[in-house]
Amino acid sequence: MSKHLQNEIENLKRRLLTIGANVIDAIQKALFALEERRAEVAAQVMEGDKKIDAAEVELEEDCLKLLALYQPVAADLRFIAAVMKINNDLERMGDEAVNIAEHASFLAQKLPLPIPVQFDAITAATLRMVWESLDAFVGGNAADARRICAEDDEVDRLNQEIINALWRMMRDDPEIVERATHLFSVSRHLERIADHATNIAEDVVYMVEGKIIRHHASEYLTPSESD
């Protein structure tokens, strides 16, 4: 690898992590706006998404320029391809944060609604997956990435429990249907964020091993675990 390409790759990594940090901040702010009924914080998330979108476009353009200029192969090519895909998933996470913020803004103007107890668990699990997927990218750790992919089942389970709890609440009190539907959507957006974190983890495996494990849940296990 040339020194120039090495410098460019390190720059891509730094910029991707900056986008990741901004996305995590947006998710946390959107959830804070929901929990604390802070419409002004929700508005900040929606406005801040423009910065994430612009950074995503700039990074993708620079990745394409590097591919054309250096024509990288093997590990370098996989790294740049992974950055492009992870970049896209992060931008979509930012969109999901905006969606949560929109629901938070609506709910802040209505009477308070009890939040199912599983919300804390799904929030913690989702954010953990995002953090850990980015850590696996930085460390080039395929084993950690595979483990993160398997964690998505827990988020799916919690999402279903929240849906069931909200259905019971709506059945018992039809007056809350509109508000409960917004909470239903928030849970779904968290589940989608976890899906994007899974995508990132899958891309880390590709980056490190050159192996595509997408759509193959059995590949989420390490070789020793699958024996």
Q: Which domains does the chain have, with CATH numbers?
A: 3-226 (1.20.58.220)
Q: What was the pLDDT predicted at 2?
A: 81
Q: What was the pLDDT predicted at 3?
A: 87
Cα–Cα distance, 217 to 196 (Å, whole number)? 15
CB atoms within 10 A of CB 150: 14
pLDDT in tens, the chain (227 residues): 588 899 999 999 999 999 999 999 999 999 999 999 999 999 999 999 999 999 999 999 999 999 999 999 999 999 999 999 999 999 999 999 999 999 999 999 999 999 999 999 999 999 999 999 999 999 999 999 999 999 999 999 999 999 999 999 999 999 999 999 999 999 999 999 999 999 999 999 999 999 998 876 666 665 445 44
Q: What was the pLDDT predicted at 226?
A: 47
Cα–Cα distance, 125 to 143 (Å, whole number)? 19
Q: What was the pLDDT predicted at 214?
A: 84
Q: Name the token pair of 209.
A: 């091993």
